[in-house]
Structure 1
Amino acid sequence: MVCALGSAVCFGAATVLQAMAARAVEPGPDGGAALFLRAARQWRFLAGLALDGLGFLFQVAALRSIPIYAVGAALASSLAVTAVAAARLLGVRLSRAEWAAVGVVCGGLALLGVASGAEGDRDGPDALGYALLGVAAVVLLLGPAAGRLPERRRAAVLGLGAGLGFGVVEVAVRLIDSLGPADLAANPAAYALLVGGAAAFLALTSALQRGSVTAATAAMVIGETIGPATVGVVWLGDRTREGLGWLAVTGFAVAVAGALALARFGEAPGGAAEEGTAAPSVSGEAKG
């Protein structure tokens, strides 16, 4: 659980550092790619990338130790980290309701920490790896298909797709037992991890560039928590401590609800803080 929380802290802090780097660069008329390259010259942006990498390592360690539902809820809490860091470093004013949502997330994670057992010891059905690869492929094709939808609905669909892609990564990590080249080449979960992660990033980036940040992030939180948690419990043997199943369900629901209340911080706040608006983050946020 410490690794899961460490991952959330890394992802949330990385978002704010990358947003600070983006704010320090003149947008210019030459598009997002040039903006990315200019921001990448700043130490804050590079520090954010380093935190992203460290957060992913923490995420992998957590997924190998505790149930997927606990890791998913902890990763969703990175929005609370982003909110608190944005209030401190970017001058964003959090309302009382948003501070309350931060407290709700922390309370839900505390309940999960008490109730969570060890990770499941089952490998799931043989077809699970191929099913993950299929879901990753669907997410990859989702962008062009969602382009015809109205703006808010498009953002929600792409955000949900991104959440499913990140969920594929969470489950795939559990299905990879050996890092030997031959074993990885023969394991469909390894391909699902790569395709799912890339597809999720592309879907979320598209959603945040072309639609509502709040709608995209809320849908992403749902996609990356509920589906993987269900797979972990039904097929991989994830369980709670004896007699504490109700507490785990409560903690999971509370933590996810708090994250949804903070959905506008799925993309780090920038620009005019006093207006409470959200400006684009360089990376598109919402890792994991």
Structure 2
Amino acid sequence: MLLGLLCALGSAVCFGTASVMQAVAARRADTGDGGGGGGGVDARLLMRALRQWWYIGGLGLDALGFGMELVALRLVPIYLVGAALAASLAVTAVVASWLLKARLGGAEWAAVGVVCAGLGLLAAASGVEGHGSGSPALRWGTLIAAVLVLAAGAFAGRLPERARAAALGLGAGLGFGVVTVAVRLIPDFAIVGLLTNPATYAVLVGGAAAFALLTTAFQRGSVTAATAGMVIGETFGPALIGVFALGDRTRAGLAGVAVAGYLLAVLGALALARFGEGGEGGEGSASGGVDEGGAETGPPSPTGDHPV
């Protein structure tokens, strides 16, 4: 239980810090030459970022965080892992206030405190991971859901601008949620079992769909709206499936405490949604940051990602 909790929190620290490191790399790589106009992805900017240790370090933290997330999903309930991943936004906000000079107001520091308090309550009330391995119908259901997320994303991309980012972010969150559930439905990593388990393909399709939708959301709309939609999509559904289909439980008599902690962690993360891209949208992030010589630079480009 303790190892699973530490891995869940460690993955949140890795993901949250990686987002800021990638934002720093984007600022340093942005020469202001106007490339990639129209709000799309600037391939030259990405290539320059990939040559920097900040960006490579961020990718390394992403990989480490994903590994710890996999371990956590094998040891603790899904709802605890989901809340910890949402809490990575609190890590991003704190690290961004240091590296990117993004100013956190009193309300935002309060939101960080709320996230920490929620996680504390949740950790105190969490029981052991459920031993249910899921039915064949649930395994096929995750694969079908992953395909539907991919198809729905194509539709969401055609929505009016105001709703597009939130819809794409929600779709990305649902994709990440499918991955979270599907990992629990893979009992072992034997080659034959992996190849014949629909959940294996749900991980691949759901993860690819989620990354594609989130990247599109950040390119075409508000980072805040996209991140808020993603947090909602990746937390509530998997938590309910873990409880009702996979046997995740709380400590005896502490179900109410667990629910309160979960809601506090998620709501606090939503209040910090503007930091979903390493400090994007903050009052100070429009002018704060660092370059090679320590001088301040402009706002980060949307190059960060959300690991599975």
| TM-score > 0.5, shorter chain as reference | yes
Alignment of 1:167-246 (within 5 A): 167-246=177-256
Residue 137 and residue 107 in structure 1: after superposition, are their counterparts in 2 closer, same or farther (change >3 A)? Answer: same
Equivalences, count? 287
Measured against aligned partners, the alpha-carbon deviations of 1:184-224 in whole angstroms (never above 9, x if no partner) come to 11000000001111110110110111011111111110110
Q: Does residue 18 in structure 1 map to residue 22 in structure 2?
A: yes
Q: Does residue 123 in structure 1 map to residue 133 in structure 2?
A: yes
Alignment of 1:26-105 (within 5 A): 26=31, 28-31=33-36, 32-105=42-115
Q: What secondary structure does 1:127 align onto?
A: helix
Q: How far did 1:135 drift?
A: 1.3
Match of 2:303 in 1: 282
- C-alpha separation in 2, matches of 1:260 and 1:103: 13
Measured against aligned partners, the alpha-carbon deviations of 1:92-149 in whole angstroms (never above 9, x if no partner) come to 1101000000000000000011000111011222111111111111222233212221
Q: What secondary structure does 2:104 align onto?
A: coil
- C-alpha separation in 2, matches of 1:271 and 1:261: 13
Q: How far did 1:151 drift?
A: 1.2
Q: What secondary structure does 1:63 align onto?
A: helix
3-12 vs 178-187, greater mean Cα deviation: 178-187
Match of 2:10 in 1: 6
- Kindly, what percent of the aligned residue pairs are identical? 60
Structure 2: gaps spanning 5 or more residues = 37-41, 288-298
- C-alpha separation in 2, matches of 1:106 and 1:276: 27
CA contact (8 A) 2:15 2:65 kept: yes
Match of 1:159 in 2: 169
Match of 2:39 in 1: none
CA contact (8 A) 1:151 1:212 kept: no
Match of 2:296 in 1: none
Structure 1: gaps spanning 5 or more residues = none
Q: Does residue 134 in structure 1 map to residue 144 in structure 2?
A: yes
Match of 1:109 in 2: 119
State the 4+ residue runs in structure 1 displaced beyond 4 angstroms.
270-273, 275-278
- C-alpha separation in 1, matches of 2:32 and 2:121: 44
TM-score normalised according to structure 1 size: 0.96
- C-alpha separation in 2, matches of 1:126 and 1:211: 38
- C-alpha separation in 2, matches of 1:246 and 1:59: 25
